[in-house]
Chain A
């Protein structure tokens, strides 16, 4: 019971933050955002508390969440009332009946997937290899004040500092509230990803297409298997994908709240997994956009909300775990690109390797669909919103390609990382779906007057 209360309190706190940042949002989408923002920002505060010597205890957490929620509540009472009225209207049977036949079935299927994710993540305990060896182990020790202090002092083996702490501290949150099994957080991340993805697509596409691509997203093996893994991948995907799509909404519709939340979410993705350089690609694209529109402050704000996590965590782990995580080693790895001509043989190897991973993990249908839509959209591309989306997609594909290319020099047996690459490649699947759904191809057939301008 206490665990449920803790999650609800954290979600309520997240809800108030979303009301502060984005006044207008679909109620269901706001609920999904409440969870991801609530847990993410709670973890950031727990992280800071650990470093400044404040013990992570139930009372400390409760006090902070209750006190800050109360203050925000006083300020946002009216918006909360409006939200609850909107929410009740959305989940009513009357509203459901207004959907057409296919939309109803898609909603039922999506609810089924969400229910399935919740059931299996509540049923199974944390059991996957990496979750036991790293994420959940850290989650448990950080819930013990003495062990947590030892961890911050760097008294554990370097292995335990390899990945940032978001996934582990999320588990710690559950343990502090008396929970025994934090795996249900994966189920909530999965559901939130679906809800938020739907909301992001719905900004530019009709309800039917939004529901269809959301179903295609959630009903994929690579995503659904993560519900029982308790790895950092699912939270990372959620934060990075939704963060990027929110940045896109900001670029097209100039809604500043989406920029703020999008940047925060990308920052949280860095606090989940810091090895992936995709956030840098986002920074480059935002900078290009800002230069084009003469909005020079935005790249700085983005950096402010994302870079500290990367550099602070990097400095910390280098400080405690020594030469294993030296930045200079990463710089040395990157030197394989400088002062040497591209190795065509290796480039071809990397291309074949990545194609094999992508088509094996994702299948031909999505690759073909994306390619076909891209070909049909080429003529009008520069004028449309999807121009920036393509920059995100190909920019990040380029980063993945480059990273794999460098690995051919630095990592013996680099071909054995296909499972890791398949997991990382999950970020592209939602972008492909988003691109297909929001392309001009469907606009003529599904013009939706309710899409917000």
Chain B
């Protein structure tokens, strides 16, 4: 054991440099690059680094010295590196969230989330370098009492801390950034952000129909109308209007006074194994309808673009391609 401790004085700085470089390497390639290349993941080397660090700390404690000049230099270097690397990690994460996912990957082939590991490596070295607080500090207590199980579990919990911070940083930054950029926006803006044009379309329908309207809408769970065809979802925005749908995409419930013109928000299935592959087509209704009037919605807005009175809705008409609107059905006397 003494031989290992003796050699560890030289091994630790090497491991520190190795894991630091490896974490930066994976930040500029991808997480798991090492595992794919040499069948030993980054965390494998990290584990040795942590164990070497604990062993080093125990040696320093026992010898009651804070290491030689080289170690003092290493300690000071890590103290300087820590705020820099933390700042880089948080700024890159925040900038990525403010722009788009994989922003830095596209610009400079960097994955900011992996820099959390780099931060942990430097932070660990800083903690190891903290002055000997005697037996009071729990880490020293653990090492002095050779509590292997506690050391292993604490190391695993430390890993979990980094893992968790990494996993939530994206969503936290994204939300905070959005709020900071749009602090006083109204309900419509927020719902438009979450639901896009679907929300505008719901507002359009709500503003152009009375509350007692009876409206036909596309069938349920059939692409591309997975949202406009979801009766519970549409009902949330249009209640107390009554909604009608049939299972057949070519028919319309006769009880309806109105009918949606829904091109379809969802993509048709692309793979042969997917349901409705080859049977999906955009645009609903699929039949001609006598209309008292037809109104069309403006793109990316809830405003009315055009109204045509006393006409026939024809699904093959060019005007109905990529269209979103509403038909007031002309009822036979």
**Which residue numbers of A lie inside 8 Å of B, CB to CB?**
116, 119-120, 123-125, 127, 129, 132-134, 136-137, 140-141, 147, 157, 159-160, 180, 208, 212, 215-216, 219-221, 224-225, 228, 363, 365-366, 368-369, 372-373, 376, 436, 441-442, 444-446
Contacts and interface: CB of A to CB of B under 8 A. Distances in A.
Interface residues of B, number: 37
B165 A444 contact: no
Contact of A137 (B163, B175, B194, B236): B236
Interface of B: 138, 141-142, 145, 147, 149-150, 152-153, 156-157, 159-161, 163-165, 167-168, 171-172, 175-176, 179, 187, 190-191, 194-195, 230-233, 235-236, 239-240
A444 B147 contact: yes
Given A369-B156, A441-B150, A127 B191 contact: yes
A208 B154 CA distance: 12
Nearest to B166: A221
A137 B190 contact: no
Given A216-B161, A442-B150, A444-B145, A372 B156 contact: yes
Nearest to A442: B150
A149 to B, nearest CB: 14
Given A125-B187, A137-B232, A219-B168, A441 B163 contact: no
Q: What secondary structure prevails in chain A residues at the interface with B?
A: helix
Given A124-B190, A442-B150, A221 B156 contact: no
Contacts of B235: 133, 137
Contacts of A127: 190-191, 194-195
A365 B138 contact: no
Contact of A372 (B138, B153, B175): B153
Contact of A216 (B142, B157, B171, B239): B157
19 contacts: A119-B176, A127-B195, A132-B236, A134-B232, A157-B231, A212-B157, A221-B167, A224-B172, A363-B160, A365-B156, A365-B160, A365-B163, A373-B153, A376-B149, A376-B153, A441-B153, A444-B145, A445-B138, A445-B145
A141 B150 CA distance: 54
A220 B157 CA distance: 13
A134 B232 CA distance: 7
A129 B233 contact: yes
A280 B156 CA distance: 33
Nearest to A220: B164
Contacts of B175: 116, 120, 123, 228
Given A365-B163, A372-B153, A120 B236 contact: no
Given A369-B156, A372-B156, A441-B153, A133 B233 contact: yes
A365 B156 CA distance: 6
A365 B176 contact: no
Q: Which of B141, B147, B150, B233 has the most CB of A within 10 A?
A: B150
Contacts of A129: 233
Nearest to A137: B236
A228 B168 CA distance: 14
Contact of A133 (B152, B172, B230): B230
Contacts, number: 106
B182 to A, nearest CB: 9
A424 to B, nearest CB: 19
Nearest to B165: A219
Contact of B171 (A119, A221, A365): A221
B194 to A, nearest CB: 4
Given A127-B190, A221-B168, A365-B160, A141 B138 contact: no
Nearest to B152: A372
B30 to A, nearest CB: 18
B293 to A, nearest CB: 29
B160 A216 contact: yes
A249 to B, nearest CB: 23
Contacts of A363: 160, 163, 167
Given A180-B187, A376-B149, 9 more contacts: A123-B190, A124-B190, A132-B232, A141-B239, A216-B160, A363-B160, A363-B167, A365-B156, A365-B160
Nearest to B199: A127
Nearest to B43: A364
B315 to A, nearest CB: 28
B202 to A, nearest CB: 10
B236 A125 contact: no
Given A125-B187, A127-B191, A445-B141, A119 B179 contact: yes
B157 A445 contact: no
B197 to A, nearest CB: 15
Contacts of B141: 445
Given A127-B190, A127-B194, A216-B160, A159 B153 contact: no
Given A220-B167, A365-B159, A136 B236 contact: yes
B153 A369 contact: yes
Given A137-B232, A225-B171, A445-B147, A368 B156 contact: yes
Contacts of B179: 119-120, 123
A137 B234 CA distance: 11
A208 B236 contact: no
Q: Which of A137, A157, A444, A445 has the most CB of B within 10 A?
A: A445
B49 to A, nearest CB: 16
Contacts of A134: 232
Nearest to B130: A101
B191 A133 contact: no
A147 to B, nearest CB: 8
Nearest to B183: A123
A119 B180 CA distance: 11
Contacts of A228: 175
A180 B141 CA distance: 54
Q: Which of B150, B153, B160, B231 has the most CB of A within 10 A?
A: B160
Nearest to A225: B171
B168 A369 contact: no
Contacts of A365: 156-157, 159-160, 163
Given A133-B233, A365-B156, A445 B142 contact: yes
A125 B191 contact: yes
A268 to B, nearest CB: 25
A373 B232 CA distance: 46
Nearest to B179: A123
A445 B157 CA distance: 15
Contacts of B150: 441-442, 444-445
Contacts of B195: 127
Contact of A366 (B142, B147, B160, B232): B160
Given A373-B153, A441-B149, A446-B138, A216 B236 contact: no
Q: Which 4 A-B pairs have the closest CB atoms?
A: A133-B232, A365-B160, A221-B167, A369-B156
Contacts of A116: 172, 175-176
